Each structure stands twice: as structure tokens, then as C-alpha cells.
Amino acid sequence: MKFSANLGFLFADRPLPEAIHAAKAAGFDAVECHWPYAVPVAETRAALEETGLKMLGLNTSRGNTSIGENGLSALPGRQSDARVAIDEAFAYAVGLAAPAVHVMAGNTSGPRARQTFCENLAYACDVAGGAATILIEPLNPYNAPGYFLNSTEQAAGIIREVARPNLKLMFDFYHIQRIEGDVTRRFEDLLPLIGHVQIASVPDRGAPDHGELDYAFVLQCVRKLGWERPIGAEYLPEAGTPPDMAWLSKYKAL
């Protein structure tokens, strides 16, 4: 199996180009990130070319984090800000030939929020065209209280309503286990809608080698269902220590 290092969490104590080199040295097959915008795209691209790694995706801006914003695209009345963030993310992704952009919904609720999110997702899909997949991700209420998108059922309904072939689900086993459980059956049922997969241990969001999910079993199920793309390692390494990569060689051999 192949794995991608999420540089929002892994090697986050160093500049993004250095983190890309660290991911290569650790044995990852690809990288992904959260918000790379402080780093000129040319510097990120150079690090990718030097390592031979591909940047799989990045997120749209959260907005004003000082007031708790966590995305803009489902916020009624913020359409212009949301579309600026979408354009920014897509431009950066194009500069790296990254195949996906995660459009963050934000903290809100209700039918107006759903309509706003659907309209902004349609815009994002049309801007991306055939160049990129647009991803949406349900987040659990423990880590992201108040986040608009909070279940796979809700996400699947929005994907079907927007009805764009390049709109897909980010299936993060950590979040889905904390929201709903029954993760392997949900993965199988939702597989036609899934555009990217992420993992972390539950409930501590550490390395995927402990906790209530047996990833040796989970990842075998994923492989048997035909998933061949890199799986994103989006987990929090133990503070003050280098990330423990013992799990990586074990799961790559599955």
C-alpha cells in the first residue's frame, strides 16, 4: 500500500519545503498539506521536484481563525470571501499539479448554510473543471464543534445534489469512527463517492498503530475493495519527539 504524509501535522516543526524532504526520507510515497499559502508556490514545487513526491491536495483557507472560523463555503453572506479562498486554493494547486482541493465548509448550520455550501461547491467544481477533484470532509464534533459538515449521510446527499463528477468525499477513518463507527461497511457503501482516504488512531489522533481501530484489518479491507491510491497519514505525532514511522513499513507491506 502507498501512503501520503499530511504535512499539516507531520514534520510541522519545519518549513514546508523541508517537511517535504523529511517525508521522502521517512519513506512516504506522496504528501498533502493544509494551508501552504505563506510559502511561495515555486519553493514548494522545487521541493516536490527534488524529492519526486506528488502533492495530493490542500485545503481552502479557514478564514479568520482569531474569531474561530474554520472554513467559509457554507457561511451565508460570505460567498465572495469563500470564492476568493477557492480561487486561491485552486491557483496554488495548479502551480503544483496537485489533483485535489478540500473546500472547507465552516461553522454554521441550517438550510441556508446547505444552499450556500452547494452553490459554492458547484462554483469550485466548475472552476476546477477536469484539472482537480473537489473534496468535502465530515468533521467530528469533538475536534470541530459546530462544523457544518458532520456526517457521511449529509456529505453524500450534498455530493448527489451538486451533481458534479469532480466532487468527492474525503473519507477520514478517524473522523468517521468518532462520528458514526462501522467504518469498513461505510467505506464500502460510499466507495463510488470517495476521492481521498485519511487515517489516524482513535481516539487520540496519534499514529495509526494503536487505539480502537485495528488498521491492519481496516487497510486490508480497503485494499481488497480496490483502493490503490495513497492513503493520507493525518495524525498528531507525540509532542517533542520525531514521528515514529514503525507503522509505515508494516502497512506498506499489506
pLDDT number for residue 244: 77
Phi, psi of 68, rounded to the nearest 5 degrees: 90, 15
CB neighbour burial string for 124-156, b if at least 16 within 10 angstroms, e if fewer: bbebbeeebbbbbbbbbeeebeebbbbebeebb
Q: Which residues are catalytic?
A: 137, 234
Query: Domain span at residue 117?
Result: 3-252
Q: Where are the alpha helices (DSSP H) in the chain?
A: 16-26, 41-51, 79-96, 111-128, 152-162, 173-179, 183-190, 215-224, 246-252
pLDDT number for residue 79: 97
pLDDT number for residue 200: 98
Residues 6+ apart with CB under 8 A from 103: 60, 71, 73, 86, 89, 120, 121, 124, 134, 135, 136
pLDDT number for residue 70: 98
For 25-72, how does the pLDDT look when each residue is reduced to its tens digit (9 = 90+)? 999 999 999 999 999 999 999 999 999 999 999 999 999 999 999 999
DSSP, residue by residue, 61-88: P---GGGT--BSTT-TT-HHHHHHHHHH
Domains: count for the chain: 1
- CATH at 14: 3.20.20.150
Q: Give me the residue label for grid cell 493525518.
A: 234
Q: How far is CA 150 from CA 49, 230, 238, in A?
A: 36, 24, 27
Q: Low-confidence residues of the chain, pLDDT below 70?
A: none
For 213-229, how does the pLDDT look when each residue is reduced to its tens digit (9 = 90+)? 999 999 999 999 999 99
183, 217 contact by CB (below 8 A): no
Query: Which neighbouring-strand residues pair with 171?
Result: 197
pLDDT number for residue 239: 81
